[in-house]
Structures are given as C-alpha cells and as structure tokens.
Structure 1
Amino acid sequence: MNEPLFDPVPEPVVVSPGAVHVPGWLGLPRQRELVGRCREWVRSPAGMRKHRTPTGGRMSVAMASLGWFWEPYSYSRTLPDGTPVPPFPPELGELARAGVAAAYGHAPEPESPGYDVALVNFYDAEARMGMHQDREERADAPVVSLSVGDTCVFRFGNTETRGRPYTDVELRSGDLFVFGGPSRMAYHGVPRTRPGSADPDCGLASGRLNVTIRATGFG
C-alpha cells in the first residue's frame, strides 16, 4: 500500500469535536486492494463469525479479529479454541496513522500507543449494529474506521447515552471516519445499510466491509 491514498485530497468534515469524516479517502484501486487483503486475513482458523452477546442474542454483523481477539466485551490473545489470534498487519497500522493525519491534520503523537488490533466487519443487506461504545481498550488513541462497498447510515452519538443527540452520517465506499479526543467514548452504531449502492469496481459484489483499527494499550 505505497501509492497515494487519494487524489484529489478530500475535505474533512467535523461531525463533533474529535470526530471527523473524510469522504472518498480511499480511491477504487485502494479499495479493491483492501478487500483482497481482508479476504486473505480472514482465511485464518477463526474466520468470520457472528458473536453472541451476553444477553444471548446473536450479532448480525460477521466479524474477524486481527492482533487481539475481540468478543463482547473483552479482548484475548487466543481464539476460543486456544489457537493464537492472526497477527495485526503492520500495513493497517500505517493506514491508521495516515487516516489520523488526514482527519486531524497531523499524525498521532510519537508517544501514543501503537495501533495493534483490527476488526474486519461484514454487513449483508440485513445486518445492523446497535449503539455502543468502544471501551474495552486502555489506550485513548483515536479509532480509525474504513468503509468499502454499500453505503451505510452511521449514527454518531454522545458520550452519555445511546439516545439523542446524535448525527446520522452516510458512509460511502472509500470513506474514512476517525473519532478520538472528546468523542473517543461516543456511542455509535449502524441502523441500516443501502444494498446495491456500491460501485462494483470497489471489489465487493454486495454488502459493506468495515475495517475498524484501534490501539488497545495492553502492551
């Protein structure tokens, strides 16, 4: 992933303090490359799975973990069968740092914990994600989210409640969304996708791929 990420440079949109949407950050060649790499990464023994929540429900989003294994609501170094988690690809760390620079105008501080976990999420036409916080990490580094495929409605809320106030943002294929600082613990979710809205040249025949990159701070 050495080519320029975008051309021309998209204009970042501040959704709330610390939360920035950069439309069209990844061009079609980079989207196809990311889709291809994700297909390689999820061929691990863990594969894609729909986690069961503590209340007994089953998530509708299929997910794979890289670097650390995430399941509601904790991290571990091994998969449920005891095998190691697939490693975190260094190129995703580079992509995350470039995303922070694109959103904020500067790269992460040198002393900031390094990005070390990625969740590869796949949404089919029926998949949804309820309002939640990304709060299992010890680090407060910004969360970096990349979208490829179908457009989704990304609901970005406040830090106190799952309800209003919130802002609905359309995330299209190639979009970048970064949230940190005062928005790091904001509730967020995906109430719906728009099936069939993606450019077929993005590399996905259907559905939405979301790669969420985080720093755990676990060392």
Structure 2
Amino acid sequence: MAVEPIRSCIACRTSRPKGMLVRVYAGPDGRLGIDLSGRVGRGVYVCPRRACLEQAVKRNELARCLKVALAPMTAEALETLILEAVSRKIAALLGLARRARKVASGAEAVDSAVKRHAARLILSATDASAGTAEKLRIIAVQAGIPWLQHMGKEELGAALGTTPRACIAVTDPSFAGAVISTLNKIPVERDARETAWSDRRVKSGAESRKVWG
C-alpha cells in the first residue's frame, strides 16, 4: 500500500499527510488559488483551520513561502476561495458518480439504497428542512454510514444534472471517500478539526456529522 506523502503547514509547522491539508498556489497575476488536485504550479500547504489561515495571512507566510508578491488577501477571503474550490470539486465528483450510476437521488431512492445496503454516504442539502435533515441523520446512524450536509438543493440538483434535490446517496466507496476527503478541506475551528484528526477513519453511525459549505 502506498504511503501518503507528508507535508507541513506553513502556519503552525505541523507535519501531516498532504491529503489532510489544503494546497495554495499563486497565479501569474499574484492572486492566490486553491489546488485540490495537487498538480498546479508551485504550492504550499496550510491546515484547514481558521487559526492557521489567519496566521498564514497575518504573518505573510504565503508570500514568503511562495516567493512571490501577492495581491492583498484576508483570512476570510482565503476561506471563501477554499469553500468555492471544495464546492466545485464536490459538484464534479457527483457528476462523475452520476454518469457511473453510483448515485441515488431523492428521498425514495436514498431510502431504497440504504435498505439494499448499497449506500456508502448520505449527503443532504443545507437548505433541506430540519425534519428532513434529522430523518436522514437517523437513517445514516441506523445504517452505520456517514451523513453530511453541503450545497443547497439547487446546487445539489445541478451537480447531478437534474431538478433540485434535498438529498442523495453515494453508492460507491471510492466516490464516497473522495467526497468526504474533499469536504474535510473546509476550514473549521481548531477543536473541531483536532477531534476529526484524532481518528482518520470515516465517521459513521453515532459519529455522523454536519459539514457546512
């Protein structure tokens, strides 16, 4: 089994598998970009924690490590770039999963996928009703699979090339893992991220959680 390369956060200097960090690069115009593919130009890594984003910006670590003059940037703007990159990648992953017929969309299809033990991840829209979200969370807990929230109903439907969707189930473990790994790039407060990092296993059952984006 291949060992994931280790990289260091430019803010806190902690070394972690690079899949747990966010890669930032500078474009030719001096504007920052987020590289979730790991293939764009010269890049540096930062923990997906708000404290690390703030430190990287305030101490000018990004410009120093990238060795370029950067356009002005705030931690909030950097977080927005990350959120946008995450949403684009999630949309792309869901589109690929749909074409591979590895997605069940809509409440009935999700329920059927769970009953057939085919569901590997339940993803519900952030603007789904509280009752719908809670029902999906309970279904995930009972099935022992992860439950996450990301994108609104319009965005979730658009990613699948269909009408708005309140929920979907990913039925392929590789696609499910890629979605979860990507959502883990969303910056959070320190305590929440450290709790997640204490155990890299996919959270499921009673550990199902909410990821906002």
TM-score range relative to shorter protein: under 0.3
For CA contacts below 8 A with separation 6 or more, give which structure has more relative contact order.
1
| Greater share of residues in helix | 2
| Greater share of residues in strand | 1
